[in-house]
Amino acid sequence: MLTSSTMQETAGTLTNDTKKDQASLLQQLTTESQNEASQGFDTKSAMEIARIINHEDAKVAAAVKKAIPEIAEVIDQVARSLRDGGRLIYIGAGSSGRIAALDASECPPTYSTAPGQVQYIMAGGPKALASAVEVNEDSEELGQRDIARRRPTRKDVVIGVSASGRTPYVVAAVAYARARGAHTAAVTCNHDTPIAAAADIVIVAEVGPEVISGSTRMKAGSAQKMVLNMITTGAMTRLGYVYENLMVNVHMQNSKLVERGIRILMCACRIDRETAVHTIKSAGRSVPVALVMLKAKVDKPEAVRRLAKSDGNVRLAIEDNVLEL
């Protein structure tokens, strides 16, 4: 539990690191700089505006590509942590926090993860997802308090998402989690920022100045979403929740997802619709169980046993191998 003395001690250290010459630091950030490509933007036609934005957006994937080694490292760490019963916890503020919340909320329907496996913490709380509560992002104490409530441990991965790399709320939370033994990472769009010192691994997607200066919901937001997509998709794939390139762990909660599950089984096993529907029903509406039944030619109890043995890794369950990551 976070004591008041610990909080004050940590807050004091972080205040020196993250609040020193804030105005000067902001001016040095490439995400805050003016973009020469959009000079006179307010005088442009709709066609010109769209073309300029599209031209700048084309730079995002190249910026993310440069960070692939760090992204891969985080993917493996997240996979190991989730396999060992840990959690992935995102923490962010403003646009960055909303992007993190989106990624976390989409993991359960996509991969049937338990709600607590991939979490998010948003500066200002859930209400900040729809309404701007940006003032909270300046509070180191709130960042520490909010992450402390999740009681991070060495089993967890805590990822701070901050386009600027200097958001006090996020930096303080990441530093707190790291001090408690959690594996930490940061996703940012600037080099040499306070969050780099707070995290174990830093993913930098340097997209450069925004079309609208400082509007980091644009290129920076796109880059952060790409990175988070890569992290969770990569980790879930490493865990075996994807077979070939099929979303076999889909949670069939509505008609669209039920139909998707049927089509996935038809494609993976090259069977007709009737056989797929019958097998899914026999498997208790579980695509992974149905897939193992068909691929390994086993009954439901054996398919369930294999999946339990492999920690849900579908391919290893089919091959009946021991899980190794």
* Domain residue ranges of the chain, discontinuous segments joined by +: 4-238, 255-319
- Name the CATH code of domain 255-319 (choices 1.10.8.1080, 3.10.50.30, 1.10.3720.10, 3.40.50.20): 1.10.8.1080
DSSP secondary structure string for all residues of 174-212:
HHHHHHTT-EEEEEESSSS-HHHHHSSEEEE----S-SS
Catalytic option among 56, 137, 206, 210: 137
Active site residue 106: yes
At residue 151 the predicted structure's pLDDT band, cuts being 50, 70 and 90, is very high
**pLDDT score of 5:** 40
pLDDT tens for each residue of 199-220: 999 999 999 999 998 889 999 9
pLDDT tens for each residue of 58-115: 999 999 999 999 999 999 999 999 999 999 999 999 999 999 999 999 999 899 999 8
Catalytic option among 73, 106, 302, 319: 106
Which numeric CATH code is attached to 4-238?
3.40.50.10490
Reported pTM? 0.87
pLDDT tens for each residue of 9-18: 444 444 555 4
Residue 314 and residue 285 in contact, taking contact as beta carbons nearer than 8 Å: no
pLDDT for 131 beyond 80: no
* β-pairing verdict for 201-204 and 118-122: unpaired
Average pLDDT of the residues in 238-267: 91
Cα–Cα distances in angstroms (integers) from residue 166 to residues 33, 191, 195, 205, in the given order: 15, 11, 6, 15
